[in-house]
Amino acid sequence: MTVTAQAIPMLSDNYSWLLIDSATGKTGIVDPAEAAPAIAVLESIGKNLDFIFLTHHHDDHIGGVAELVEAYHPIVVGNQADSHRLPKLDIAVHEGSLVDFGNARLRVIETPGHTLGHISYYIADGGILLSGDTLFSLGCGRLFEGSPAQMFSSIAKYSDLPDDTWVCAGHEYTSANARFALTQEPDNEALLHRARQVQVLRGQGLPTLPVTLRQERATNPFIRAKDAETFGRIRAAKDNA
């Protein structure tokens, strides 16, 4: 495994992710909501910051970019189509773009729904999916700009990824997501087990992420929706829960 991902808690329930390519020592931060927690982690491990990877334009995912750029001068990567509302990009990407990160590569997956310009990143060498606010554990992002059909199609793009892929999402929403998921599949044994696990982790103040795609495929009602119409009904129910 070349690339590792470490959650950095930010704001009240955000996660930024610290990426390290162990072969070269290159570092990246995904969606820094604020700079101070990222700087503290980098200083604790004695690392510079080489890259910032952005999934979408919301303030709670880009708020720390300016300060980190000033401090470290990293390469900022984001969606070319959303460049008008992202911080200044050094590398502008689109569906299928490959970004070299040390000895590894990040593959860009366009995943509109939460926002129209949302992208995810997949790192095969490490088995990491950086899903931003498209996919959460046991949930998915609100549809602020896109349609249910778009979000259903976006999540379906993850279907070719291996079961043991680690989902590194942008928020710690899993407890609330578990409560809702159980209203959809109250007899799902895998979901019941995951809900108990989440309760224990949160009770100990521990993160529920990352989580494997295998677990999500067995428990997440949004991944398990059979079609866009069903997905839309579940999303509407979650919005009104």
Q: pLDDT (tens digit, 9 = 90+) per residue, 109-142?
A: 999 999 999 999 999 999 999 999 999 999 999 9
221 confidence band (pLDDT: 50, 70, 90): very high
> How far is residue 140's CA from residue 152's CA, in Å, rounded to a whole number?
10
User: Does any domain span residue 221?
Assistant: no
Amino acid symbol at 77: V
Amino acid symbol at 149: A
User: Does any domain span residue 218?
Assistant: no
User: Does any domain span residue 200?
Assistant: no
Residue 239 pLDDT more than 70? yes
Residue 58 pLDDT more than 80? yes
User: Does any domain span residue 21?
Assistant: yes
- Confirm if 207 and 16 have CB atoms less than 8 A apart: no
Domain span at 128: 3-173
Q: Which residue has the tokens 């999540």?
A: 155
Residue 154 pLDDT more than 80? yes
- Confirm if 52 and 121 have CB atoms less than 8 A apart: no
Among residues 19, 61, 53, 35, the alpha carbon closest in space to that of 171 is found at 61
Among residues 49, 60, 55, 58, the alpha carbon closest in space to that of 19 is found at 49
Phi, psi of 143 (to 5 degrees): -95, 80
pLDDT at 241: 84
**Assigned token pair, 2:** 């070349």
β-partners of residue 17 are: 7, 30
**CATH number of 39's domain:** 3.60.15.10
- Confirm if 1 and 203 have CB atoms less than 8 A apart: no
Residue 99 pLDDT more than 70? yes
Helix axes of 65-72 and 36-45: crossing angle, nearest 10 degrees: 40
Domain tally, the chain: 1
What's the rounded mean pLDDT across residues 168-194?
Answer: 98
- Confirm if 87 and 66 have CB atoms less than 8 A apart: yes
What count of other Cβ atoms lies within 10 Å of the Cβ of residue 75?
16
Residue 1 pLDDT more than 80? no
What is the average pLDDT value for the chain, to the nearest integer? 97
What share of the chain has pLDDT > 70, as a percent? 100
- Confirm if 84 and 99 have CB atoms less than 8 A apart: no
User: Does any domain span residue 116?
Assistant: yes
Q: How many residues would you count in the chain?
A: 241
User: Does any domain span residue 208?
Assistant: no
User: Does any domain span residue 183?
Assistant: no
User: Does any domain span residue 67?
Assistant: yes
- Confirm if 60 and 14 have CB atoms less than 8 A apart: yes
- Confirm if 191 and 219 have CB atoms less than 8 A apart: yes
